[in-house]
Amino acid sequence: MMIKTAWGQLTGALLALTISVAGNTELTECEAQDLSSLNSTPILDVHQTHRELQTFVRSRIAPLPVSQYAEDWKVQAAKARNAVLENVVYRGEAAKWKERPVCVQMLGTIEGGPGYSIQKLRLEVLPDLWIPALLYVPEKLDGKVPVFLNVNGHDGNGKAADYKQARCIHMARNGIIALNLEWFGMGQLATPGFAHGRMNQLDLCGTSGLSPFVLAMSRGIDFLVSLEHADPSRVGVAGLSGGGWQTILISSIDLRVSLCNPVAGYSSYLTRIDNPSDLGDSEQTPVDLGMTADYSTLTAMLAPRAALLTYNEKDNCCFASGHALPPLLAAAEPVYGMLGVSDRLRSHINHDPGTHNFLLDNRQALYRMIRDQWFGGDEAKFATIERPLDNEIRTRDQLNVPLPESNLDFQRVALKLVSQVKSEREAKGRVPRDQKLKEIAQTIRLREYSATETKVSEETIGDLVVRRWALKLNSDWTIPLVEYAPKETKGAVIVFSDKGRAGSSDDVLKLVNEGRHVFAVDLFYHGECAIPERAYLWALLVSTAGERPIGLQVGQLNAVIDFAVKQAHQAVELHPIGEASCVTALISGALKNEWISWINESGGMESLEKVVTESYSFEQIPELFCFGLLKVTDIAELRRLNMKD
């Protein structure tokens, strides 16, 4: 098969031309404008794809394991925990990273306040990737004391956030060693290379982008329990928002955590489907987590350990108490009851101010939980009323922790992985075609679709018949297609674009002018099949549910190819426009080689490595972050697979 790459960009000036169809019929300028208008006119209901996407994802979220007996639940929870660790967190190179010994560098002590000091340190998460932290140490340490990991969310102040400092100070004043850990993308780590949408660059290379997040927390706990005065039976974690997400994740999979307090940090994926404000970024919605264990299951997995679920009544960000909390309690309460530890599960709803916060009311709810669970309810051993801070809040500069100049970030880690997977592919050499195609199909989680067509309208422009179709693909999707059929044809071509049909009108007009039988279609995530709001967050949801956006597109395109071949009675050319569409076309062409006569790429890339070298973020072009795709293949090989012998 021949492959042609077209780099020229067509302009709207084509609309001013007189268009001739197959050399027999000329369209006037007005008719050309009508044709362009038809190409842009919607075929589907504006909410069609969104509704279908909600149904599609909902059916793929792993249900809560059902157990009637305590021992059976323990088995089910252990199975889910291992599945999350093995199939989600420690994939690819991450399996090696987790075996590395903990490396912490102490960098001096600064003055705290009455009863405690603050030690600066940095912690190595991955080889050559360090994060800063602060250790709040009680002045008087006698015997074993609790240790607490305080994580933060999407707050630009990072570890210097005043409400986080206040929490650490109160703990240290009352005899708990508290670690204040910086978070990727925040505070000192607020750099483009640590933006959370760039963790998916690791996914592209076949290594879990989630793993640095988990390893940071796990290393923090490793460090805490290694301290001389640490009581390993009393390890706590708490955080707001993204810190709440960190808290539920690490607490559900790391059994060393004996008390946790996620604050306004998460909800079930099923809740998120109906409450878009809860849709989470890349770290909240990692590849395959939803198909492995929903957040309701992770919440139940906290049992029998102490857990306080804190939510805010009028949360102005996400995870408002009214919709987020009840499903989590419904999942966890029966398990805690079955294990005979109902008193270890609590919830707290903040009403004043009730917005997205970890302010005094929420902090003191945590202090009461600590007092009751770790200090036998004795206020004298652990005070629940927070004393005035007496100017003890430090500035960001005062809390700054030196980091190596060569410190890695997500992109730099991904660049190393790119080099590694490229070498591995080259060392493996060419594999048999059938085996390679199978690997690609498995990687993109390809679904086979057949189309049932419904003709929406038909009209004639000159000698050109224009039919508008709605194609139903199995019971999953409905996609729109416009067919331009001349009386005499010079070949058939399918046109699709990253910008949707409306962005392909100039190309369609040019192809019609050449006498081509044209099929202009929108695939998932583009044109009419785009998601109107929070689009990339829905693409993440597709991926966490075990599917792949590019796999959906390839499956849909394959069904469109079958339809077009049936209508045109011949093999078809693919004319993709844009980087994502070109990759979709190359994969589809390789898998359906016998029905593709030509692939005419417009605006394609030369290598998937560009996603990393130019540091794309997931929200820019979700399809190209398919887990492990670069490990399996690249553009040059896809083009070779499209060549006919």
Concatenated DSSP letters of 42-74? --S-TTHHHHHHHHHHHTTSPPPPP-SSHHHHH
pLDDT of residue 32: 67
pLDDT for 39-68, tens place per residue? 888 999 999 999 999 999 999 999 999 888
Distance CA 526, CA 501 (A): 8
Q: What is the DSSP string of 115-139?
A: TEEEEEEEEEEETTEEEEEEEEEES
pLDDT for 230-249, tens place per residue? 999 999 999 999 999 999 99
Average pLDDT, stretch 7-20? 31
Phi-psi region of 133 (alpha: psi -120 to 50; beta: other; left: phi over 0): beta
Distance CA 512, CA 65 (A): 56
pLDDT of residue 292: 98
Distance CA 531, CA 441 (A): 25
Contact 10, 511 (CB under 8 A): no
pLDDT for 187-215, tens place per residue? 999 999 999 999 999 999 999 999 999 99
Using the predicted structure, report yes or no on whether residue 459 has a pLDDT greater than 80.
yes
pLDDT of residue 29: 67
Using the predicted structure, report yes or no on whether residue 21 has a pLDDT greater than 50.
no
259: its two tokens? 């008390």
Angle at 269 between CA 543 and CA 190, to 5 degrees: 70
Average pLDDT, stretch 417-431? 93
Per DSSP, the three-state class of 503 is helix
- 644 backbone dihedrals φ, ψ, rounded to 5°: -80, 140
CB count in 10 Å sphere of residue 56: 20
Q: What is the largest CA-CA distance in the chain?
A: 96
CB count in 10 Å sphere of residue 378: 10
| More confident call, 104 vs 67 | 104
Q: pLDDT class for 26, splitting at 50, 70, 90?
A: low
Distance CA 574, CA 557 (A): 10
Distance CA 320, CA 520 (A): 42
Task: Give 609's DSSP letter.
Answer: T
Measured CA distances, 570 to 74, 344, 564, 566, 578 (Å): 59, 68, 8, 8, 25
104-376: CATH topology is Rossmann fold (3.40.50)
Using the predicted structure, report yes or no on whether residue 35 has a pLDDT greater than 80.
no
Contact 43, 456 (CB under 8 A): yes
**How far from each other are the two terminal CA atoms of the chain, in whole angstroms?**
8
Q: Do domains 20-58+427-641 and 104-376 have the same CATH topology?
A: yes
Distance CA 574, CA 444 (A): 20
Contact 476, 52 (CB under 8 A): yes
Query: How many Å separate Cα 639 from the centre of its chain?
Result: 28
Burial class (CB in 10 A: 0-12, 13-18, 19+), 19: buried
Share of the chain above pLDDT 70, in %: 95
pLDDT of residue 27: 54
Q: pLDDT class for 390, splitting at 50, 70, 90?
A: confident
pLDDT of residue 28: 61
Amino acid sitting at position 113: G
Burial class (CB in 10 A: 0-12, 13-18, 19+), 569: exposed
Average pLDDT, stretch 395-412? 97
Contact 103, 79 (CB under 8 A): no
Residues facing 461 on adjacent strands: 464
Using the predicted structure, report yes or no on whether residue 10 has a pLDDT greater than 80.
no
pLDDT of residue 461: 86
Per DSSP, the three-state class of 109 is strand
Distance CA 609, CA 423 (A): 13
Using the predicted structure, report yes or no on whether residue 3 has a pLDDT greater than 80.
no
Pairing of strands 345-350, 451-461: unpaired
Q: What is the DSSP string of 520-575?
A: EE--TTSGGGS-SSSHHHHHHHHHHTT--HHHHHHHHHHHHHHHHHHHHTS-EEEE
Helix 242-253 × helix 211-226 angle, to 10°: 70
Average pLDDT, stretch 499-521? 93
Distance CA 386, CA 174 (A): 10
pLDDT for 123-168, tens place per residue? 999 999 999 999 999 999 999 999 999 999 999 999 999 999 999 9
Name the CA dihedral angle for 409, 415, 421, 422, rounded to a multiple of 10 degrees. 180
The stretches of 347-402 forming alpha helices (DSSP H) are 360-374
Reference 595, options 626, 623, 558; nearest CA is 558
pLDDT of residue 558: 97
Does the CA dihedral 459-464-465-466 come out positive or negative? Answer: negative
Using the predicted structure, report yes or no on whether residue 494 has a pLDDT greater than 70.
yes
Amino acid sitting at position 283: E
pLDDT of residue 382: 97
What value does the mean pLDDT of the chain take?
93
pLDDT of residue 488: 86
pLDDT of residue 31: 66
pTM metric for this prediction: 0.94
Residues 6 or more apart in contact with residue 569 via CB below 8 angstroms: none
CB contact burial 388-414 (16+ within 10 A = b; e otherwise): eeeebbbeeeebebebeeebbbbbbbb
Amino acid sitting at position 112: G
Share of the chain above pLDDT 90, in %: 88
Cis peptide bond prior to 353, omega within 30° of 0 = yes
Query: Which residue ranges make up each domain of the chain?
Result: 20-58+427-641, 104-376
Which residue, chain included where needed, has tokens 């690249």?
Answer: 634
Average pLDDT, stretch 583-598? 93
Per DSSP, the three-state class of 432 is coil
Domain 20-58+427-641: which CATH number of 3.40.50, 1.10.287, 3.40.190, 1.10.10 = 3.40.50
Using the predicted structure, report yes or no on whether residue 186 has a pLDDT greater than 90.
yes
